[in-house]
A = this chain, B = another copy of it.
């Protein structure tokens, strides 16, 4: 084998090669490969055989260049609140949270029918945000799915300003018109309050999420408002960071300040687990002495004993809907109806053992 043929064998087949083998033009092969439009059946067959014979695989860079479509979407985790972008512990924490895994799972489900795959990006500081922006503007991805945590996260606005298709998990800042999916957090928290009240709890407390996170605020407010309606206007709370360790610290504080507690509502399951651990250590039985309700119905809810009573958030379905909205927007010929779409999901109460 000469040097020439070897290098020829090395480089993979192109449309040109297939066309030559099939005895047709490049354009015809292209038509067969993509949406088959007006090509005689017998020629289609010939082309297909030529593709087989040459082992042809379309080059996506070339295709993207002319179609101006990347055929990819970015999945951005934004604003983790890591102070330092080298803070691997913080990064691991967010990716280890069951919430993240459920989002990934839902996104994958939503993308699968279209044969797309998400590019994972972390935008936890200005530099990371710049990277996401550049990535999209360079055409590496056609749109972004953003899981943003902080309310003041500027990324959604930046993306929207650049005219890039975005869908958010969670409500964006009021002034930013961006498509998103969300959960009725108020209602979820009220469900928890009602259940605790019905059990007879009158001295409840809340382990809240970071006040910078809108969903966390809504859960706290929703719970307090529901209790107020029942004549209990004073519900103490401690703020934590959505982690188990944070939940432990918050529970410890709460117990010290309010030893008479008989019910706890945690803004997510991880913190509820932390609460459970501390209650056990301090010799309080759950749900006998203190009833505990979590939020999310993630895998953490059934990870320990007692099994956690919790408010279910259909994260997978929400993530799937998020990709659907994005893909719809990409398909649409740009102009018409470019307004932001939003879909709000309803939470539900899942009663197990802890309350």
A24 within 8 A of B: no
Q: Name the prevailing secondary structure of the A interface residues.
A: helix
Distance A32 CA – B91 CA, assembled complex (angstroms): 34
Nearest opposing residue in chain B for A315, CB measure: B92
A351 within 8 A of B: no
Q: Which A residues, 235 to 281, have Cβ-Cβ distances below 8 Å to chain B? A: 244-245, 273, 276-277, 280-281
Chain B residues in 8 Å Cβ range of A298: 96
The stretch from A132-140, A180-188, A197-205, A221-229 touching chain B is A132-140
A285 within 8 A of B: no
Distance A118 CA – B77 CA, assembled complex (angstroms): 13
A299 within 8 A of B: yes
Using A61-B139, A91-B105, A303-B244 as known contacts, say yes or no to A120 and B117 having CB atoms under 8 A apart.
Answer: yes
A97 within 8 A of B: yes
Q: Which A residues, 281 to 304, have Cβ-Cβ distances below 8 Å to chain B? A: 281, 298-300, 302-304
A49 within 8 A of B: no
Does the CB pair A75–B305 fall under 8 Å?
no
Chain B residues in 8 Å Cβ range of A64: 61, 64
Using A92-B102, A102-B96, A120-B120 as known contacts, say yes or no to A115 and B131 having CB atoms under 8 A apart.
Answer: yes
A84 within 8 A of B: no
Partner of A277, one of B62, B71, B140, B304: B304
A65 within 8 A of B: yes
Q: How large is the interface on A (under 10, 10 to 19, 20 to 34, 35 or more residues)?
A: 35 or more
Using A60-B139, A61-B139, A117-B121 as known contacts, say yes or no to A95 and B91 having CB atoms under 8 A apart.
Answer: no
Q: Which A residues, 78 to 98, have Cβ-Cβ distances below 8 Å to chain B? A: 88, 91-98
Does the CB pair B273–A304 fall under 8 Å?
yes
Distance between A243 CB and nearest chain B CB, rounded to angstroms:
9
Does the CB pair A137–B57 fall under 8 Å?
yes
Does the CB pair A277–B299 fall under 8 Å?
no
Chain B residues in 8 Å Cβ range of A101: 92, 94-97, 100-101
Nearest opposing residue in chain B for A76, CB measure: B117
Q: Which A residues, 44 to 71, have Cβ-Cβ distances below 8 Å to chain B? A: 57-62, 64-65, 70-71
Does the CB pair B95–A96 fall under 8 Å?
no
Distance A71 CA – B141 CA, assembled complex (angstroms): 13
Using A303-B304, A304-B277 as known contacts, say yes or no to A61 and B65 having CB atoms under 8 A apart.
Answer: yes
A72 within 8 A of B: yes
**New A-B pairs, 19, CB < 8 Å, besides A100-B101, A104-B120, A117-B135:** A12-B137, A60-B138, A60-B140, A61-B64, A61-B70, A62-B65, A64-B64, A65-B65, A92-B316, A93-B299, A95-B100, A95-B101, A95-B105, A96-B98, A117-B119, A120-B120, A244-B303, A300-B303, A304-B304
What are 30 A-B contacts defined by CB distance under 8 Å?
A: A57-B134, A58-B138, A61-B65, A62-B65, A64-B64, A72-B119, A74-B117, A75-B120, A88-B316, A91-B105, A91-B108, A92-B101, A92-B102, A92-B105, A92-B316, A93-B299, A94-B101, A95-B102, A95-B104, A96-B101, A96-B105, A100-B101, A101-B101, A117-B121, A120-B120, A244-B302, A244-B303, A277-B304, A277-B305, A303-B303
